[in-house]
Amino acid sequence: MKALKNYIRILLIISLFAIRYSLFAQDWSVPTDQANKTAPVLFTTESIQKGADLFVKNCQSCHGNPARANFVKMDPSPGDPASEKFQKLTDGEMFYKITNGKGAMPQFKMILGEEDRWDLVAYIRSFHTGYIQPEPEINAMTGSGELASMTIRFDSLSKIVTISVYTIKNELKSPVKGAEVLFFIKRYFGNLQLGDGVLTNDEGIISYPFPEGIVGDSIGRVTLIAQLNESSGYGTAKKSILMPLGVPMEWVSLTAERAMWNINFKAPIWLILSYTLTVLGVLITLIYIMLQIRKIFLLGSAYDEERSE
């Protein structure tokens, strides 16, 4: 009987470890070209301070205070950015992981611009006393590594949206040629991309005809977002504009009817029943297993008593 109990314990331990491994094991490999990537700008005192502010707002809730090891106790562990595990990463690996995220860590490319993400790398590197920054990588497309800005306006009669992309150096504006601009419409759950990106002409300008049939609010207003494609090498400048160019539509509140995303008591009936029955099924199964284990224990005890007589 004692051997049977030990066997059950071993099976439970193995099962728990198997579940833990399948749920939390992460192979977070970084492509070689991204791992070898270097920052396009120097890490200055100013960029480190910007990175510190961004870290407090976006990262501290999970990673805690760098060098204090007071990160959230979860699995996989978010870890301490000042630790050796973090600091042995290349700048490119660190930037890639911040950009793309994994598991519980969000994709910060959807939250922060490219320059902000490099500022985070600069801040994390400030905890490495022996760190020497590699020579900044000058982008071959711009020839200067400068980040671009943009303006956006529209003509309500022609329904043409005009984007101007430029850099400013020594108070002089220079048009950016060949920068890809992506267009989005703001929606409830993120932004809806409109087609493929469009490249600026020799004057750094795009004339974009607003598509027909885009649904707007009750009076036809839509929010158009223009954003530089990060891979163009000019940063991720973004501008938005509210325009009365959409098709008017009365939107029903997301919480008005039963739906998957609604609050508990407004979830679909089938979902509530399925959840309730599943929980009851799990509880009944656990109770059954416990009763069977108890039955085995009692049979073993009775057998031991018979043998002792």
Residue 48, phi-psi category: left (phi > 0), alpha (psi -120 to 50), beta (remainder): alpha
pTM: 0.48
Residue 274 CB neighbour total at 10 angstroms: 11
Query: Phi and psi dihedrals of 131, rounded to 5?
Result: -75, 135
User: Higher-confidence residue: 307 or 43?
Assistant: 43
Which CATH number describes the domain made up of 149-243?
2.60.40
| Cα 255 to Cα 171: distance, rounded to the nearest angstrom | 50
Average pLDDT of span 73-84: 89
Which pLDDT tens digit goes with each residue over 145-161? 467 889 999 888 888 99
Residue in this structure with the two tokens 């009817």, named with its chain if needed: 257
| Cα 52 to Cα 110: distance, rounded to the nearest angstrom | 19
Q: Residue 13 pLDDT more than 60?
A: no
Q: How far is CA 75 from CA 13, 22, 87, 99, 152, in A?
A: 18, 12, 20, 21, 45
Q: Residue 15 pLDDT more than 70?
A: no
User: What is the number of helices (H) and of strands (E) in the chain?
Assistant: 8, 9
Q: Give the per-residue pLDDT at 60.
A: 93
Which pLDDT tens digit goes with each residue over 206-242? 999 999 889 888 888 899 999 988 777 787 788 899 9
Buried b (16+ CB within 10 A) or exposed e, 38-75: ebbbebeeebbebbbebbeebbbeebbebeeeebeeee
pLDDT band for 191, please (50, 70, 90 cuts): confident
Q: Is 93 exposed, middle or buried (0-12, 13-18, 19+ CB in 10 A)?
A: buried
pLDDT band for 250, please (50, 70, 90 cuts): confident
Mean pLDDT of the chain: 83
- pLDDT exceeding 70 applies to what percent of the chain? 85
Residues ≥6 apart with Cβ < 8 Å to 308: none
Q: Residue 254 pLDDT more than 60?
A: yes
Alpha helices in the chain (DSSP H): 2-24, 32-35, 45-58, 60-63, 84-87, 91-100, 114-125, 269-308
Q: How far is CA 260 from CA 253, 263, 272, 277, in A?
A: 14, 9, 10, 17
Which pLDDT tens digit goes with each residue over 19-42? 454 444 456 789 998 899 888 888
Which pLDDT tens digit goes with each residue over 53-77? 999 999 999 999 999 999 988 878 8
Average pLDDT of span 287-303: 88
Q: Give the per-residue pLDDT at 265.
A: 73
**Least confidently predicted of 76-85, 119-128, 245-254, 284-293:** 245-254
Amino acid identity of 256?
A
pLDDT band for 200, please (50, 70, 90 cuts): very high
Residue 190 in tokens: 């993120």
Which pLDDT tens digit goes with each residue over 88-112? 999 999 999 998 888 888 888 877 8
Residues ≥6 apart with Cβ < 8 Å to 39: 91, 95, 118, 121, 122, 133, 134, 136, 137
| Cα 280 to Cα 274: distance, rounded to the nearest angstrom | 10
* Closest CA relative to residue 159, chosen from 194, 207, 198: 207
Q: Calculate Rg over the CA atoms of the chain.
A: 29
- pLDDT exceeding 90 applies to what percent of the chain? 38
Which CATH number describes the domain made up of 29-125?
1.10.760.10
